[in-house]
């Protein structure tokens, strides 16, 4: 496997240094994902920028995490499953929702389950949901805007999940209690 550098603020390319400094200030440490993305400063900037944009959607934190965690699980991303589990716990998201997302089980809330199912369809069809798939999401009380916001979250996870697979990102100690591995 090609070896990639998990950069520190000191070793990072100059363009990535302020991004890593900002991350350290925001969360208290430089997550390994960011340290690895710093190898390509444009990748780190793209991920952080798209993360901020995704936060501006009309989706709640729980809804955003449903999209992200669904993609993490489908992509088999051990790093992001652990990290987002920790994030969800910190945000006070219901433990039952977290457990279901980690296992790929249906959510008890029908509206949230419709969002999870649509996220699966977008992933599995590579962005080619049927009219019926879209209508099911709309019938659950979501909007056309939501359809496109699912695409934002899916794109965000493509950036991080694929990076983690390619560089072999090690799970940070802060996320280790929520380690996850794909079943089968």
Is this model's pTM higher than 0.75 or not?
yes
Q: Give tens-digit pLDDT for 118-151.
A: 999 999 999 999 999 999 999 999 999 999 999 9
pLDDT confidence of residue 150: 98
Tens of pLDDT, residues 166-178: 999 999 999 999 9
Closest CA to 118 of 91, 89, 141: 141
**Whole-Å CA distances, 6 to 30, 44, 182:** 10, 12, 24
Domains and their CATH numbers in the chain: 11-54 (1.20.5), 60-167 (1.20.1290.10)
Q: Are 73 and 81 in contact (CB under 8 A)?
A: yes
Three-state SS for 91? coil
């Amino acid at each position: 496997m090609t070896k990639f550098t998990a950069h520190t603020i000191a070793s990072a390319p100059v363009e990535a240094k302020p991004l890593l400094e900002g991350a350290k200030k925001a969360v208290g440490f430089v997550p390994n994902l960011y340290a690895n993305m710093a190898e390509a400063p444009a990748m780190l900037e793209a991920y952080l920028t798209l993360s901020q944009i995704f936060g501006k959607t009309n989706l709640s934190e729980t809804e955003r995490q449903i999209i992200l965690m669904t993609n993490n699980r489908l992509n088999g991303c051990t790093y992001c499953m652990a990290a987002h589990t920790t994030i969800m716990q910190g945000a006070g998201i219901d433990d039952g929702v977290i457990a279901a997302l980690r296992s790929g089980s249906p959510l008890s809330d029908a509206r949230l389950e419709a969002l999870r199912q649509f996220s699966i369809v977008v992933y599995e069809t590579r962005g080619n949901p049927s009219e019926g798939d879209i209508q099911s999401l709309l019938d659950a009380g979501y909007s056309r805007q939501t359809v496109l916001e699912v695409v934002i979250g899916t794109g965000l996870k493509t950036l991080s999940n694929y990076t983690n697979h390619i560089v072999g990102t090690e799970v940070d100690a802060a996320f280790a209690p929520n380690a996850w591995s794909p079943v089968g």
